[in-house]
Amino acid sequence: MNLRRLKAVARKEFLHVLRDPRSLMMGIGMPMLLLFLFGYALTLDVDRVPLVVWDQAGTIQSREFISRFSGSRYFDLRQQADGYRAIEEAIDRREALIALVIPPDFDRLLSRGQGAPVQTILDGGDPTTATIALGYAEATAATFSRDIALKQTRRAGIQPRVPSLELKPRVWFNADMESRNFIFPGLIAVVMMIMAAILTSLCMAREWETGTMEQLIATPVTGPELIFGKLAPYFSIGVLDLILCVCVGEFVFDVPLRGSLGLLSALALLFLFGALSFGILLSIITKSQLLASQLAIVTTVLPAFLLSGFIFPIENMPLPIQTVTRLISARYFVFILRGIYLKDVGMSVLWPEVLFLGGFGTVVLAVAVGKFKKKIL
Q: Where in the chain are the domains? A: 3-43+178-371, 49-155
Burial class (CB in 10 A: 0-12, 13-18, 19+), 152: middle
Confidence at residue 339, expressed as pLDDT on a 0 to 100 scale: 92
CA torsion, ordered 279, 284, 285, 290, to nearest 10 deg: 70
279: Cα separation from own chain's centroid:
22
| Phi, then psi, of 143 in degrees rounded to 5 | -65, -45
Can you list the residues of the chain whose pLDDT is less than 70?
A: 113-115, 152-153, 155-167, 374-377
According to DSSP, the β-strands at 98-102 and 119-122 are: antiparallel
Helices H, strands E: what count in the chain? 16, 4
120: Cα separation from own chain's centroid:
31
Confidence at residue 171, expressed as pLDDT on a 0 to 100 scale: 77
Q: Which helix (H) or strand (E) holds 184?
A: helix 179-210
Confidence at residue 271, expressed as pLDDT on a 0 to 100 scale: 94
Burial class (CB in 10 A: 0-12, 13-18, 19+), 44: middle
C-alpha to C-alpha distances, 244 to 36, 59, 180, 247, 328, nearest whole angstrom:
11, 57, 17, 5, 24
- Integer Cα distance of 61 and 83 in angstroms: 20
| Residue 284 contacts residue 373 (beta carbons within 8 Å) | no
Q: What is the CATH number of domain 49-155?
A: 3.40.1710.10
- Integer Cα distance of 361 and 277 in angstroms: 6
- Integer Cα distance of 177 and 45 in angstroms: 9
All residues at 6 or more sequence positions from 270 whose CB lies less than 8 Å from its CB, including other chains: 354, 357, 358, 361
Confidence at residue 292, expressed as pLDDT on a 0 to 100 scale: 83
- Integer Cα distance of 55 and 175 in angstroms: 37
3-class state of residue 68 by DSSP: helix
Confidence at residue 156, expressed as pLDDT on a 0 to 100 scale: 64
Write down the pTM of the prediction. 0.80
Bridge partner residues of 47 (DSSP):
none
Confidence at residue 191, expressed as pLDDT on a 0 to 100 scale: 85
- Integer Cα distance of 92 and 94 in angstroms: 5
- Integer Cα distance of 221 and 217 in angstroms: 7
Confidence at residue 262, expressed as pLDDT on a 0 to 100 scale: 92
Confidence at residue 353, expressed as pLDDT on a 0 to 100 scale: 93
